[in-house]
Structure 1
Amino acid sequence: MVWSLNRRRRTTPELPAPGRCTPNRHVLTTERLLLFTPRNRLDVAAALAACADPEAQRWLGSQADRVVPDPGIRRALLRWRPAGDDGRRVPRKLAEPFTPGADEALILVCVRRSDLSYAGALELENRSGEMGGWLAPDCRGQGLGVELFRAGAALAHTHAGLTTVRAGAERGNTASRRALARAGFVLDEGPPRHTLPDGRVVDAVWHRHDIATASRCH
């Protein structure tokens, strides 16, 4: 984790299509992941459920209002597929549209392209250029972190217009640090201590990804 979802030939028509970004809404794809701005509260809830387990929170230290504490609820949310794919009717509250704020950090939920199961999420703070991301428990240890962080670099460089994107990880978080390196990030200078959202202070290592010329998707 670092700070701040049978392969088909194409994604289902209900899901956002890669290359069709709109203002404040982005879509990216990797070999095994589809990432897009959440469309409804189910997408947001599943993204948060993907990082609410103790293993993820050891590294992320999220604020209490961003953690789904009940393991049963977390599992239930992650068993859903994005609305419109598996035929189940989404509860009214979870079906409510999600509207991203123009000045808020970008958040993209990600799903596996093979079965459209929720796989995690990616966050990018436009102003600071800092990126964070996480994977659901069943998606860890499969090399998907490398794809997630490569997508984060692409989001920054070709969608948000940033020439530099940075990511911080706890010094002992070797899995995330290795994935960042494989995704093309290099070590960067930064504060040796970092305060997590829950108030814990940890030893930090910083990474960066640069490009000569950045662009925006619209």
Structure 2
Amino acid sequence: MLWSLVRRSRAVSRLPVPGRCDPGRHVLATERLLLFTPRTHLDVAAALAASADAEAQRWLGNHADRLVPSPATRRALLEWRPAGDDGRRVPRLLAKPFTPDPDVPVFLVCVRRADLSYAGGLQLEHRAGEVGGWLAPRCRGQGLGAELFGAGALLAHTHFGMTRVRAGAEPGNTASRRALARAGFVPDEGPPRHTLPDGRVIEAVWVRHDTTAAAHCS
């Protein structure tokens, strides 16, 4: 595996604190989840591993299965905790600091607050005003999807000043559609077809989340 081939180094401890955003970096929390801009390449790799299984790729098509092709590697990545927060040394390659790119969609890694395990990822197309997200296999079916999408709406409204944020889903993706509804998203109009990153064209239904109290975190 990757970390068996690289020299290990000491990692930073302590997770970001909600309400303390830095320029270009965001952090927020729900009842059971903590979401923050990745600090290390481990954060990014684990979040991608959470979406690399066949069930997630059926709906996402984001090529994560190519970036993390081995099921064993995916499982191993998801067994780590954010750098240093479980007392283990992180491989030097994965412990490298991650610098977000302001020209690409905003990306947050998601962990469970109870045990700090990696739980998934959240993405906000801050220019288009669209949000999407995913959960790791072991985090599905527990009602966390509603918290994840609720966090997406909160990110858009209170960190980027958006009065409206939208999300799309395939009609057959009932889990995501129910989670969006529980998060307060309501039906909206939108293109009936959507092209996934892997080139597949799918049917789409759209929902939106509105607020009259938008703000910026910094």
Question: How high is the TM-score relative to the length of structure 2?
Answer: 0.92
Identity of aligned residues (%): 76
- Matched pairs, number: 207
CA distance in 2, matches of 1:137, 1:60: 14
Q: Write the distance in 2 (CA, Å) between the matches of 1:170 and 1:65.
A: 20
Instruction: Point out where structure 2 has 5 or more consecutive residues left out of the alignment.
Output: 1-12
In 2, Cα distance between equivalents of 1:50 and 1:27? 19
- Whether the 8 Å contact between 2:40 and 2:97 is mirrored in structure 1 is yes
102-111 vs 155-164, which deviates more? 102-111
8 Å CA contact 2:57, 2:65 repeated in 1: no
Paired AA for residue 46 in structure 2: A
Q: Are the counterparts in 1 of residues 52 and 64 from structure 2 also a CA contact under 8 Å? A: no
Q: Quick check: 1:213 aligned with 2:201?
A: no
Unaligned ranges ≥5, structure 1: 1-12
1:216 alignment partner, SS class: coil
**How far apart, CA to CA, are the structure 2 residues paired with 1:120 and 1:151?**
12
Q: Distance in 1 between matches of 2:134 and 2:208?
A: 17
Aligned counterpart, 1:99 = 99
- Is it true that 1:134 corresponds to 2:134 in the alignment? yes
- RMSD between aligned alpha carbons? 1.4
- Higher relative contact order, chain-length normalized (CA < 8 Å, sep 6+): 1
Q: Which amino acid aligns with 2:96?
A: E
Q: Contact 1:30–1:151 (CA<8 Å) still a contact in 2?
A: yes
> How far does the alpha carbon of each residue in 1:20-74 deviate from its partner, in whole angstroms, 9 at most, with x for none?
0010100100000010000000000000000000000000011368641110000
Runs of 4+ with >2 A deviation: 63-67
TM-score, structure 1 length as denominator?
Answer: 0.92
Q: Is the CA contact 1:48–1:66 (under 8 Å) kept in the aligned structure 2?
A: no
Which letter does structure 2 place at the counterpart of 1:36?
A: F
